[in-house]
Structure 1
Amino acid sequence: MVQEAGFWLYDLRVETRLEGRTPVCRHVEGEFFRVQGENLVFSEGQQVSMYGLAAILPLLPAKQRVTSEHDWMSTDAEIACPDPHCGARFHIRREDKRWFSHAETTGLPDARTTPYWQKETR
């Protein structure tokens, strides 16, 4: 039996934390969004500052990957708001893992199949 080529990614939950610190930007304790595959998923009413998001975005793909338990991507979870006067932090928590088929996610024409988001069941 040939095993399909693919990879695991963690779903992430990114939550705003103040923990008594004073925010300068519009940050509300407990607001969050999720990362599922390549998608940022916001529940109704949830918001995040675009400046905070700019600080978080480069780290999200690395946080989704399986890493050594001693890698800082596995152990460190708090990202500071980029405004040096703001006390907000963004806590990134790994949740469930999802399997992604390489053929369903690649842009290489000779290697691709139907994209995962167009499949009937996932």
Structure 2
Amino acid sequence: MRRDDEFELYDLQVVVEAIEGHCTCAMSVGDSFFVRGGKLSLPEGREFCLYALQAAIPLLPAKQRRNHPADWMETDARVTCPDPACRLIMRVDRVGSRTLRHDDVSPIAWEGGS
């Protein structure tokens, strides 16, 4: 039985899909990072370009949530590095989901529900 304070978030993998220019940050196609709940992780021993990361971050909370099927966040999954000479393209994939509880992710007491 689902509790009133539970909600689901998608786990995400952000993958470098293509590099159509010259990347000076030593990124390669296939490099990736993960978002699980509110945490970001990288595969062991790997790095990810800060500038490419900052381009993706604003989209991630919306991609973690189920939206209306016609919402562009449900159909669009690509973001580009802000360096026009690099032209690095990343794809945001939903790779799983998890159930979270309000009090596990917020210091403010949840007062909703029954």
2:67 maps to amino acid = T
Identity of aligned residues (%): 35
CA displacement at 1:2 relative to structure 2: 7.9
1:51 aligns to what SS in structure 2?
helix
Normalized against structure 1, the TM-score is what?
Answer: 0.80
Question: Secondary structure at the residue paired with 2:51?
Answer: helix
More strand by percentage: 2
> Which protein, 1 or 2, shows the higher relative CO under an 8 Å CA cutoff with sep ≥ 6?
2
- Number of equivalences: 110
What's the C-alpha RMSD, in Å, of the aligned pairs? 2.0
Gaps spanning 5+ residues in structure 2: where? none
Residue 23 of structure 1 aligns with which residue?
Answer: 22
* Structure 1: distance between partners of 2:90 and 2:36: 17
Equivalents in 1 of 2:65, 2:80: separation in Å? Answer: 21
1:82-118 per-residue CA deviation (whole Å, 9 max, x = no partner) reads: 012222111100111111111222211x449xxxxxx
In structure 2, what is the equivalent of residue 92 of structure 1? 92
Find the aligned partners of 2:29 and 2:3 in 1 and give their Cα distance.
Answer: 44
State the TM-score, normalized to the length of structure 2: 0.86
Unaligned runs of 5+ in 1: 113-122
